[in-house]
Amino acid sequence: MEAGEEAPKIRVSDNAEEVARAAAERFVELAQSATRARGRFAVALSGGSTPKRTYELLAGDRFSGRVDWPKVHVFFGDERMVPPDDAESNYCMASEAMLSRLPIPPENVHRINGLGDSVANARLYEDELRTFFNDAAWPNFDLVLLGMGDDGHTASLFPGTQALDEREAWVAANWVEKLNAYRVTLTAPAINRAAHVIFLVTGANKAAPLREVLKGELDTHRLPSQLIRPLGGSLEWLVDKAAAARL
């Protein structure tokens, strides 16, 4: 642990549905306190399959009425290089599960372009973030939601890739050999300036990597999720019993 770093909180729920509920609850609490304190809530969503249920819950009756949605600004932690209506698109998933069902002004949804040159798309996204965060030294998201792959990746920070060494850029175009594709991703230093970072991890296939990430030796090139250590912010892991089985 370094100065300014809080110990991560690990919260184990019975199953994936309970994790989704806990995540929706935290989203609502953090959105309420940010909109009350600063008049807006800047959240970066994660892709992958795990958060989908959280997004559906947020758009449903139980949670949607508790957030002042016009004050919410939605960003993305990473994106695949596909059109926005492709089933693989993180934007598409979030849009279908949540964004299209809520009164969020379209200009508050800041998506990463998945078409064309990924280096240019990364630059454009960083410019958009720099404008939103008033040219601050780093972005200060109120919340970054993350998932973790069974290889230890998070956002599109994959093991052994170049973006892991990024110290200055907020956004990187990251070549991922095993996917034979570029991904555009927030960098670890940009994520680490968030006020709150929450990982959602469920399923037995995540038990071994979760143990390694949380209890194993520090080896960030092999386990990029270990790079996520908010400086002055909080880090929470919302996990189910299956993923927590080896902790």
Interface residues toward ligand 6PG, by CB under 6 A: 46-50, 77-78, 90, 147-149, 153-155
Of the pair 28, 92, the CB lying nearest ligand 6PG is at 92
Residue indicated by tokens 């959280």: 54
Q: How many CB atoms lie within 10 A of CB 138?
A: 18
Shortest Cβ distance from residue 39 to ligand 6PG (Å)? 28
Task: Give the span between the Cα atoms of 82 and 125, in whole angstroms.
Answer: 16
What is the nearest approach in angstroms of ligand 6PG to the Cβ of residue 35? 25
Helix (H/G/I), strand (E/B), else coil: 124:
helix
Task: At 109, list the tokens.
Answer: 């949804």
Whose Cβ is closer to ligand 6PG: residue 59's or residue 210's?
210
Structure tokens at 219: 């080896």
Closest CB to ligand 6PG among 50 and 220? 50
Helical (H) or strand (E) element with 242: helix 241-244
- How are beta strands 9-13 and 234-240 bridged, if at all? parallel
Q: CB-wise, 5 or 88, nearer to ligand 6PG?
A: 88
The least CB distance from residue 57 to ligand 6PG, in Å, is 16
Minimum CB separation of residue 131 from ligand 6PG in Å reads: 23
**Nearest distance in Å: CB 27, ligand 6PG:** 16
Instruction: Give the Å distances, CA to CA, from 155 to 58, 90, 102, 190, 230.
Output: 21, 11, 24, 12, 15
If the CB atoms of residues 35 and 185 are measured against ligand 6PG, the closer one turns out to be 185
